[in-house]
Amino acid sequence: MPNPHAMAEITWPEFQAYVDKGAVAFIPTGALEQHGPHLPLGVDHMLPTAIALDIAAEVGGMVAPAIPYGYKSMTRSAGGPFFPGSTGLDGATLSSVLQDIIREFVRHGIRQICVLDGNYENLWFLNEGIDLAMRELGDTGLRVMCMQHWEFLNEDTLGKLFPDGYPGIELEHAAVIETSMMMHYYPDLVRTDLIPDNPAVDAPPYDVWPPHRDWVPESGALISAAGASVEKGRIIADQYRRDITAAVRREFPARARAAE
Report the site for a copy of itself in 229-258 (rule: CB under 8 A): 247, 251
Q: How far is the CB of 99 from a copy of itself (least distance, A)?
A: 8
Question: According to CB under 8 A, which residues from 18 to 47 bind a copy of itself?
Answer: 19, 32, 34-42, 45-46
Say how far apart CA 200 and CA 148 lie, in whole Å.
22
Q: Find residue 112's DSSP bridge partners.
A: 143
User: Which segment (102-110, 161-169, 176-184, 226-234) binds a copy of itself by CB under 8 A?
Assistant: 102-110
Q: Which stretch binds a copy of itself (CB under 8 A): 144-152, 161-169, 175-183, 234-242?
A: 144-152
d(CA 70, CA 128): 14
Part of the chain binding a copy of itself (CB under 8 A), chosen from 52-60, 155-163, 199-207, 224-232: 199-207
Considering only residues 41 to 100 of the shown chain, the ones binding a copy of itself according to CB under 8 A are 41-42, 45-46, 64-69, 71-72, 74, 81, 83-93, 95-97, 100
Task: Mark residue 83 as left, alpha or beta (left: phi above 0; alpha: psi -120 to 50; beta: remaining).
Answer: beta
Decide whether 130 or 181 has the Cβ nearer to a copy of itself: 130
By beta-carbon proximity to a copy of itself, the closer residue of 138 and 199 is 138
- Going 118 to 121 to 122 to 124, the CA torsion angle's sign is positive
* In 31-149, beta strands by DSSP E: 62-63, 70-71, 88-89, 112-117, 143-148
Query: What H or E segment, with its residue span, contains residue 93?
Result: helix 91-107
**Secondary structure letter of residue 27 according to DSSP:** E
Residues 156-185 interacting with a copy of itself (rule: CB under 8 A) = none
Nearer to a copy of itself, 92 or 258 (CB): 92
Nearer to a copy of itself, 148 or 180 (CB): 148
CB neighbour class for 226 (10 Å; exposed up to 12, middle 13-18, buried from 19): middle
Q: Which of 21, 57, 58, 131 binds a copy of itself (CB under 8 A)?
A: 131
CA-based nearest residue to 231, from 170, 158, 162, 180: 180
Instruction: Pick the piece of the chain touching a copy of itself (CB under 8 A) from 53-61, 103-111, 175-183, 233-241.
Output: 103-111
